[in-house]
Structure 1
Amino acid sequence: MKAMVALTAGLAFGGGAASAADWSDTSVGVRYGTKFAEPYNPNDIEKTIVNLTHSSGYKYGTNFFNVDFLMSDSKDSNAQEIYLVYRHTLDLGKVTGRSMAFGPVRGVGVTAGFDANTKNDPGYGSRKRMLVLGPTFMMDVPGFVNVGVYALWESNRPRAISERYSYDVHPMLNVAWGIPVGGTGLSFEGYLNWIAAKGRNEFGGGTSAETNLDATLWYDVSPHISAGPKTFRVGLGYQYWRNKFGNLKSVPGSFAKTPMLRADFHF
């Protein structure tokens, strides 16, 4: 595990400092919905989520960082959660100077990164840590579609256990996309994660494969307020999350179907 941490850290951070960014995009955003769900909670939960997102590209690859600050209503004990995601993709074609294109694929990379969260609810009290490593296939489309097949090293230390618990290493299929809709000012963006079961949970129970789809249709309102392109956007989002966090379908709150209103500001 120590070797995996070192390898992931090297891939994730070594490239990012190699040279100045060729391009970058930073934004703050907010999304709101009333149909969120949490495992072992039978109620629909209202949440407001504020995020800071940064993506950039440099000579040999790309970086992606996002941190969500999630604020629940009283049906989730007014809990607050911070969830952080970082990914670095090293573009093998750019590193080797040789084309990796084949069929619909324009490039191949190696992606490394991590997830981390903390939540102050009085029940589970998640403190997740997860390392991510695997290949990414960059498709030849307008905008982008990236398909990744990753190994996950996940652990948690909820309030009820005395030491950090590590799940079985398990795979994830990730599809992330951002597709402009002609010159309409619309774009379709989101991700789909299919994550295999991760063995026994920290309480000895079974886990299940989970599916998490998060998609948004954005509209760029910047031209209507005399701002630069893609400065301010509004959107309609939808999240479909089955067997959330690997919980069995029999667990209340393990299945969410959540419409959302979204807005973001890019600078």
Structure 2
Amino acid sequence: MGRAAALLCLGLATGVAAQPVATRSEAHLQLGRLDAPSFAGGGTAQTRILTLQNATRWEKFESFGFLDLVNDDRRDGFNDGDFYTELYLGGGFGRLTGRSFAFGPLKDIGWVAGLNHGHDAKVWKYLPGLRLYWNVPGFAFLNTDLTAYIDDSRGVAAGGAPAQTDSYMVDVSWARPITLGDQRFAVQGHIEYIGSRRNQFGAKVSHWILAQPQLRWDLGHALGWPPGRLQVGIEYQYFRNKLGDPNTDESAVQALVVVGR
């Protein structure tokens, strides 16, 4: 799949050679009405998404990955039993070298390497770049990723979506735990911006903005279980120019159930 994927696999092999410092796995179930872009027929459909994700930290490295299994109530070739996955590896240069890269609210500067794959569309993207770690009181983490967005898709000839030129991504991710009385909540998620590009036919693929903040209530903790085992809440999805389509701006609230360990 190219040199970027080889570097990603090398980083994974290096990271897993050590004992993890911390790890968390979650299964998310989301239900809501999501839009199809105009190039997929448009309209909205009741959509179910099962997300399996893991975040692991080693002494000098970290990984985050998820797999979305998507299905909706319209048999139109879009979100019909599809899956989509992303994997990211990274680490702070401060943790890697033992030197301080802190400056003001900046806690550390590091590297990140990402891989995105959409099954039905046969899309492959590589995302090498830099990660900024911010030191903000009250946040479990607040990171900014600045990466390339490199296309390695096979395109229409291979039965997939049109291949595209390369672009770039800016992504901000965060988690903010909140305690009110004896109840535990969290606000977490990410916002990404991906620049415009061209597809293999020369047509413009618009830039997009995707925001997916979640509000969670720790129901399991309220029932006397260990924290983080069962959470319920909502995820709001705002998708400007969804999947590069300038005719589709999505705004949707989805019910959310999270089982974690």
TM over 0.5: yes
How many aligned residue pairs are there? 254
**8 Å Cα contact 1:15/1:60 also seen in 2:** no
**8 Å Cα contact 1:197/1:209 also seen in 2:** yes
Which residue does the alignment assign to 1:110? 111
Specify the code of the residue in structure 2 equivalent to 1:45.
A
- What runs of 5+ residues in structure 1 fail to find an aligned partner? 120-125
How far residue 118 of structure 1 moved from its aligned partner, in angstroms, is 1.1
**8 Å Cα contact 2:109/2:131 also seen in 1:** yes
How far residue 157 of structure 1 moved from its aligned partner, in angstroms, is 4.1
How has the CA–CA distance of structure 1 residues 176 and 113 changed in structure 2, closer, same or farther, with 3 Å as cutoff? same
Specify the code of the residue in structure 2 equivalent to 1:37.
A
Which residue does the alignment assign to 1:259? 253
How far residue 154 of structure 1 moved from its aligned partner, in angstroms, is 1.8
How far residue 188 of structure 1 moved from its aligned partner, in angstroms, is 0.5
1:178 aligns with 2:175: yes
**8 Å Cα contact 2:8/2:89 also seen in 1:** no
Which residue does the alignment assign to 1:46? 46
Give the counterpart of 1:150 among 147, 156, 161: 147
Give the counterpart of 1:137 among 132, 135, 148: 132
State how far apart, in whole Å, the 1-side matches of 2:107 and 2:185 are.
24
State how far apart, in whole Å, the 1-side matches of 2:152 and 2:243 are.
12
How far residue 81 of structure 1 moved from its aligned partner, in angstroms, is 0.9
Q: Does 77-86 or 56-65 show the bigger shift? A: 77-86
Which residue does the alignment assign to 1:242? 240
State how far apart, in whole Å, the 2-side matches of 1:75 and 1:43 are.
12
How far residue 245 of structure 1 moved from its aligned partner, in angstroms, is 1.8
Matches within 5 A, 1:156-235: 156-157=153-154, 160-162=156-158, 166-183=163-180, 184-198=183-197, 200-235=198-233
State how far apart, in whole Å, the 1-side matches of 2:4 and 2:21 are.
29
Specify the code of the residue in structure 2 equivalent to 1:137.
L
How has the CA–CA distance of structure 1 residues 10 and 64 changed in structure 2, closer, same or farther, with 3 Å as cutoff? same
**8 Å Cα contact 2:184/2:221 also seen in 1:** no
Runs of 4+ aligned residues of structure 1 deviating over 6 Å after TM superposition are none
Q: Does 175-184 or 52-61 show the bigger shift? A: 175-184
How far residue 46 of structure 1 moved from its aligned partner, in angstroms, is 1.2
Q: Is the partner of 2:16 in helix, strand or coil?
A: coil
- What runs of 5+ residues in structure 2 fail to find an aligned partner? none
**8 Å Cα contact 1:135/1:148 also seen in 2:** yes
State how far apart, in whole Å, the 2-side matches of 1:2 and 1:265 are.
35
Q: Is the partner of 1:188 in helix, strand or coil?
A: strand
Q: Is the partner of 1:185 in helix, strand or coil?
A: strand
How far residue 38 of structure 1 moved from its aligned partner, in angstroms, is 3.1
State how far apart, in whole Å, the 2-side matches of 1:213 and 1:226 are.
32
Q: Percent of aligned pairs with the same residue?
A: 22
Q: Is the partner of 1:203 in helix, strand or coil?
A: coil
Which residue does the alignment assign to 1:21? 20
Which residue does the alignment assign to 1:123? none
How far residue 70 of structure 1 moved from its aligned partner, in angstroms, is 0.3
